[in-house]
Amino acid sequence: MKNKILLINPWIYDFSAFDLWSKPLGLLYIASFLREHNFDVFFIDCLDKYSGHDSLKVKFKKYGTGHFHREIIEKPKILGHIPKSFARYGMTEDVFIAQLKSHKNVQAILVTSLMTYWYLGVKRVVELCRQYLPGVPVILGGIYASLLPDHARKEIKPDYLIEGPGEIKVLNLLKHLLNKYENSIDLPKQLDDYPCPAFDLINHPDYLIILTARGCPYNCTFCAQKLISMPFSQRNPDTIIEEFELHYQSFKLRDFAFYDDALFINKSRHINVILEKLIEKQLPLRLHSPNGLFANAIDAELARLMFRANFTTLRLSFETFNNERRKDMFSKVSNEGMINAVYCLTSAGFNASDLEAYVLMGLPNQSIEEVIGSIVFVNNLGVMVRLASFSPIPGTVEFDRAVESGIICKDIDPLLTNNSIFPLTEGDKKFVLFQKIKSFCTALNKMAEENKLIYKDTSIETTVTNVMRKINE
């Protein structure tokens, strides 16, 4: 008889949350891998927008994205001073408990984790597992577990914690726990040997996710990917196309979001080939990249392929217009690269206002002038600005810098590193300043949508001085 394993994607506890093509991809990879090794897998998705709710009430946004069900809950003491309400996002506890109770015969529970500052959702899930499925071992993995294993052991108290890529490690652990010694199929030697993520476990999917590689060869100082992922490795374009076709045929969904960290590396034998083959297949897809794309890699050929393959959400990593900081962060973008990318994309048929660019705000020692200058630089190109508020991730260079400069202490509660409130660490004044910058950015985006680029004919230095004066009024 097959062993029964329950997989859980916990709630989000936060001030705000939005389903921006957000699925527990790592857990779905583990699910299909365990199935291949003869386990029966069951899944509870606390972020299921449909379970326990009238599907007519689910609030949709574009391309399958949407709002989670939200319930205001008591703020943890440490966040008591934040003037915002705190909520649990996802299904109600009652629905979760009812689902847990229907899995009385499982032999192990696998819980995933995502953002470090979402650990309260993980903690609650594990508490309820202990209460309703006592004695069943709980194995914790995922991004929070990998970045803060000691914190997770102390707070969540799983029976086992696995760091990093989990497929093989969890298989070995389960075999050991369940005395399962029969010979199963060979272990994967390369990425193409892993089965496709088990999207059939998702209740009522509205979109699909695709991952064409794991890891990233770069080392940006604010990023934690090296601490989580396997060394950079790309899949064969043929297996990626097979996955697109299989998932499109099975789910009849058009929206696919890339989860890659580094989609454009080795472009001539990777993304260019993938897009060419997708165009050939004539599948009516819409492609989205919520993660930042390398602007510097975009040339006329790639831009044309992106347009023809129907890239619909296209976010570029810009980060900052300050070259000194770029060098210091090991950033792979340049101002010239950004200008060229926008030129190639608009020449290929995109409107500049269809493009978005991430601008970083709040890095240790980053001046407000630098943030405003970067926003104006992007706005002058007619591109929408997406502000990415800095939040220090343990184990990264920027985290250590934030500790050195006294902004945080090294054992800061992860709840305080939440990007939506982190500026408060430096006081109310900074928080208010950031709110003003956000409003400035929203206003510029609105005008850019109507093709009004009000600072285009003024030098960035003069614009920054004028905007700073207004902000400080």
Indicate whether 225 belongs to the interface with ligand SF4 (CB under 6 A): yes
Q: In this structure, what DSSP letter does residue 178 have?
A: T
Q: Tell me the closest approach of the beta carbon of residue 223 to ligand SF4, in angstroms.
A: 3
Going from the C-alpha of 281 to that of each of 28, 241, 245, 278, 305, the distances in angstroms are: 26, 9, 9, 5, 13
Indicate whether 219 belongs to the interface with ligand SF4 (CB under 6 A): yes
Residue whose CB is less far from ligand B12, 162 or 208: 162
Residue 170 partner contact from ligand B12, ligand SF4, none using kind-dependent CB cut-offs of 5 to 8 Å: ligand B12
Q: Tell me the closest approach of the beta carbon of residue 257 to ligand SF4, in angstroms.
A: 16
Indicate whether 233 belongs to the interface with ligand SF4 (CB under 6 A): no
Residue whose CB is less far from ligand SF4, 223 or 448: 223
Binding piece for ligand SF4, criterion CB under 6 A, among 212-220, 352-360, 379-387, 445-453: 212-220
Residue 219 partner contact from ligand SF4, ligand B12, none using kind-dependent CB cut-offs of 5 to 8 Å: ligand SF4
Indicate whether 220 belongs to the interface with ligand SF4 (CB under 6 A): yes
In sequence order, what DSSP letters do the residues of 12-75 get, joined into one string?
Answer: EEES---BSS---HHHHHHHHHHHHTTEEEEEEETT-SSTTS-GGGPPB-GGG-BPPPEEEEPP
Contact (CB, 8 A) for 112 and 8:
yes
Which residues sit at the interface with ligand B12, rule CB under 6 A? 17, 20, 22-23, 25-27, 29-30, 110-112, 114-117, 139-143, 146-147, 162, 165-167, 170, 211, 223-225, 228-229, 259, 261, 290-291, 388-389, 391, 393, 419
Residue given tokens 């590193």 in the structure block: 417
Binding piece for ligand SF4, criterion CB under 6 A, among 153-161, 218-226, 391-399, 408-416: 218-226
Residue 262 partner contact from ligand SF4, ligand B12, none using kind-dependent CB cut-offs of 5 to 8 Å: ligand SF4
Indicate whether 341 belongs to the interface with ligand SF4 (CB under 6 A): no
Residue whose CB is less far from ligand SF4, 211 or 262: 262
Closest by CA to 112, choosing from 44, 41, 14, 36, is 44
| Long-range pairs of 275-282 with CB within 8 A, sequence gap ≥ 24 | 275/302, 275/305, 275/306, 275/308, 275/309, 276/305, 277/237, 277/238, 277/241, 278/241, 278/244, 278/309, 279/305, 279/308, 279/309, 281/241, 281/244, 281/245
Beta strands 208-210 and 255-258, pairing class: parallel
The C-alpha angle with vertex 430 and arms to 381 and 387, in degrees rounded to 5, equals: 25
Q: Per CB under 6 A, which of residues 293..332 are in contact with ligand SF4? A: 332
Indicate whether 216 belongs to the interface with ligand SF4 (CB under 6 A): yes
User: Where along the sequence are the contacts to ligand SF4 (CB under 6 A)?
Assistant: 216, 218-220, 223, 225, 261-262, 332
